[in-house]
Amino acid sequence: MTQNQQILLDNRPQGEAVESNFRLVQTDVPALQDGEVLVRHHYLSLDPYMRGRMNDSKSYAASQPLGEVMIGGTVGEVVESRNPKFAVGDQVVGMGGWQQYSVVDGNAPGLLRKVDTTHVPLSHYLGAVGMPGVTAYYGLVKIIAPKAGETVVVSAATGAVGSAFAALAKARGCRVVGIAGGPDKCRYATEELGFDVCIDYRENADVKAMARALKEACPDGIDGYFENVGGYILDAVLLRTNAFARVAVCGMIAGYDGAPLPLQNPALILINRLKIEGFIVSEHMEVWPDALKELGTLVGTGKLRPRETVAQGLAAAPAAFLGLLKGKNFGKQLVKLV
């Protein structure tokens, strides 16, 4: 019998998440039933949304159950199949979770998708040409809906979502401004990702300083903002928005430890007639084909060159995840499992 390592959510965080919230276990892989597929995971995706799922509180999705495998996107290879739609050797993307192997119902819609690695590396299907890339696409194209010449801003600019956002926005003729942590990330944003300007939030650590930096970076104001962070950065951006600006709210990483994130000046929503819309990309599957086609082309032609931070081995996942929440990763955070 094949042995499978898994990481479970053992207990819920009290404030900041810690490694002892997780537990590594070893189990046997069950025998396949008709219609099922056994996938060996090559990479596990680590994403900020996982922190919100660890809490037992009302949110857009159910909390991660205690004692069960942590949720997470995976890419890998079919190693056994009792389903005619999937053959041994097929490379696939799915939601296999924090484990080395997963048994998947190959007939369930959307659980497992075959991918082509001729021009796009397998790992990129967890980042630029996967859920994070489609997230950037939906927020930009469907909510911000920019016109050529408009200025758009994105926080967490060098992460998997932010880097895809830059390529998609530049392709639409926008001025693109990023917000990231540290000179190395800001240099990467402008030199490799195509941002016109990148603001270092560590050098602009309060509303006034960030608002000044945004005024300099966005002399014509801000027409669209893609929000990943919340907190004082959102307050500063709202101060620089133009009339009828659009804000796509994807994440609020500053509040994932449970602290409330009040707005300093909500009257700006009325004064500037802002459109503010939160979204969950899994609720908009209709855009995925068009988004993945454009993102795959951007990667294949070198117009989107995503960077990855790769931790080695399943046991490294908790520490890598906690590092992601503190911005220690550079680009997409992955765990290599083979």
Q: What is the pLDDT of residue 227?
A: 96
CATH value at residue 119: 3.90.180.10
One domain for residues 63 and 123: yes
One domain for residues 33 and 136: no
Which distant-in-sequence residues (6+ apart) come within 8 Å of 266 by Cβ?
none
User: What does the block give as tokens for 308?
Assistant: 């990855």
**Tokens 């189990």, located at residue:** 27
How many Cα atoms sit within 13 Å of 157 on the Cβ side? Answer: 34
Q: What is the pLDDT of residue 74?
A: 98
User: What does the block give as tokens for 48?
Assistant: 């900020």
One domain for residues 167 and 90: no
One domain for residues 32 and 97: yes
Domain membership of residue 62 (yes or no) is: yes
Q: Which residue range forms the structural domain that includes residue 225?
A: 131-282
One domain for residues 142 and 255: yes
pLDDT per residue, tens digit, the chain (338 aa), is: 789 999 999 999 998 999 999 999 999 999 999 999 999 999 999 998 899 899 887 776 788 999 999 999 999 999 999 999 999 999 999 999 999 999 999 999 889 999 999 888 999 999 999 999 999 999 999 999 999 999 999 999 999 999 999 999 999 999 999 999 999 999 999 999 999 999 999 999 999 999 999 999 999 999 999 999 889 999 999 999 999 999 999 988 777 666 778 899 999 999 999 999 999 998 999 999 999 999 999 998 999 988 999 999 999 999 999 999 988 898 899 999 99
Domain membership of residue 291 (yes or no) is: no
Which distant-in-sequence residues (6+ apart) come within 8 Å of 2 by Cβ?
28, 29, 38, 101
69 within 8 A of 46, measured Cβ to Cβ: no
Domain membership of residue 296 (yes or no) is: no
* Calpha distance 236→214 (Å, rounded): 8
One domain for residues 198 and 140: yes
One domain for residues 119 and 232: no
Domain membership of residue 299 (yes or no) is: no
CATH value at residue 136: 3.40.50.720
Q: What is the pLDDT of residue 181?
A: 94
Q: What is the pLDDT of residue 168?
A: 98
* Calpha distance 264→217 (Å, rounded): 22
Domain membership of residue 232 (yes or no) is: yes
How many Cα atoms sit within 13 Å of 171 on the Cβ side? Answer: 20
Q: What is the pLDDT of residue 195?
A: 97
One domain for residues 96 and 154: no
One domain for residues 278 and 137: yes
Pick from 75, 174, 172: nearest CA to 131: 75
Q: How many residues in the chain?
A: 338
* Calpha distance 98→305 (Å, rounded): 26
One domain for residues 95 and 31: yes
**Tokens 């893609």, located at residue:** 226
Domain membership of residue 257 (yes or no) is: yes
* Calpha distance 47→73 (Å, rounded): 9
One domain for residues 272 and 157: yes
Q: Could you give the number of structural domains in the chain?
A: 2
Cα-atom radius of gyration of the chain, to the nearest Å? Answer: 20
One domain for residues 142 and 202: yes
Domain membership of residue 48 (yes or no) is: yes
Domain membership of residue 288 (yes or no) is: no
Q: What is the pLDDT of residue 110?
A: 84
